[in-house]
Amino acid sequence: MESGEKIPASELILHQDGSVYHLNIKPEHLADTVILVGDPHRVEMISNYFDRIEFKGENREIVTHTGTLKNKRLTVMSTGMGTDNIDIVLNELDALVNIDLEKKIIKPDHTALNIIRLGTSGGIQPDLPLNSFVLSEYGLGLDGLLSFYKNSEKVIEKDLTDSFISHVNLPSEMPQPYLVKSSDNLSGLFGDEFVRGITATAPGFYGPQGRQVRLDVAVPNLIDRLQKFEFDEKKIQNLEMETSALFGLSKLLGHHALTICVAIANRHHHGFNPDYKTAIKMLVESVLEKIVVLP
């Protein structure tokens, strides 16, 4: 929609108190730097590091805490699992800063958020140790979400996407894959302590990630196909359920996005570390130390 054009009540739903429908928060509750996590219980674990907490709210699986750390205002929010939840969260985060919620019109001046997802994932490369911190330079979407938005081709890395489609050769009935780059501003905050590469995003945990329990999967060698893909010395390091939507929608909406995940499993070696919470804690501490310097 164009700036100044009124958004119908059915398209951007608000509660009677003026908060956005799913997040159930108002603009004043949101910081310009947002940490996203999947697990609602992880929100408090992160906000416990804050020097002061000014707001706590929750609705369904979405829990929000906003506060300050070393004079840097931060919001940490849970999204639940999947690209469908990311679609809700990103659109409502954007509405909070770029739409006049009283008039239901787009603001003339755009605000860009810094959005960093901290999560867990499954590593797929044989040489990726358990508990590695993987920084997603690109999100590989196997989910199809971006195809529902006009002009999505403008944010997709065409050469990288074409190479993936050609080399991996997934069944034609599957959603069209796409790759989107993370924010250079945010990825530049971090050094060699993180493994860098491509993160594949699936629209589910079992069949879409090649797991076979009782149902046969359409691509039984999915992990092998992903593992062997390489473009410009970049490999697919891990597999999860949110990053491609986060990167794609953030680029379309004009926000900066990054994902860093702990590889708590390795699909090649079939290994899993049940005691991964220590690694998550170390990741959180490392990221908080870096992002407090953001303007």
* Overall average pLDDT of the 69-95 stretch: 98
- The rounded Cα 288 to chain-centroid distance in angstroms is 17
Q: Does any domain span residue 160?
A: yes
pLDDT reading at 238 higher than 70: yes
- The mean of the pLDDT values for the chain is 95
pTM comes to 0.96
Instruction: State how far the Cα of 271 lies from the Cα of 273, in Å rounded to an integer.
Output: 7
Predicted pLDDT at 270: 87
Q: Does any domain span residue 250?
A: yes
Q: Does any domain span residue 199?
A: yes
Helix spans in the chain (H): 41-47, 83-98, 158-168, 184-187, 222-228, 243-253, 277-291
Predicted pLDDT at 295: 81
Q: Does any domain span residue 183?
A: yes
Closest among 121, 132, 138 to 229, alpha carbons compared = 138
Q: Does any domain span residue 7?
A: no
Q: Which tens digit of pLDDT belongs to each residue from 150-159?
A: 999 999 999 9
Q: Does any domain span residue 15?
A: no
Predicted pLDDT at 2: 61
Q: Is 85 helix (H, G, I), strand (E, B) or coil?
A: helix
Domain range enclosing 43 = 27-291
Cα Rg of the chain, angstroms: 19
* Overall average pLDDT of the 283-289 stretch: 96
| Lowest-pLDDT range of 3-7, 38-42, 121-125 | 3-7
Q: Which tens digit of pLDDT belongs to each residue from 110-125?
A: 999 999 999 999 999 9
Q: Does any domain span residue 2?
A: no
pLDDT reading at 271 higher than 90: no
* Overall average pLDDT of the 33-47 stretch: 97
Predicted pLDDT at 5: 77
Count how many domains the chain has.
1
CATH number for the domain harbouring residue 280: 3.40.50.1580
Q: Does any domain span residue 19?
A: no
Predicted pLDDT at 275: 82
Predicted pLDDT at 276: 87
pLDDT reading at 3 higher than 70: no
| Residue 143 confidence class, pLDDT cut points 50, 70, 90 | very high
| Residue 216 confidence class, pLDDT cut points 50, 70, 90 | very high
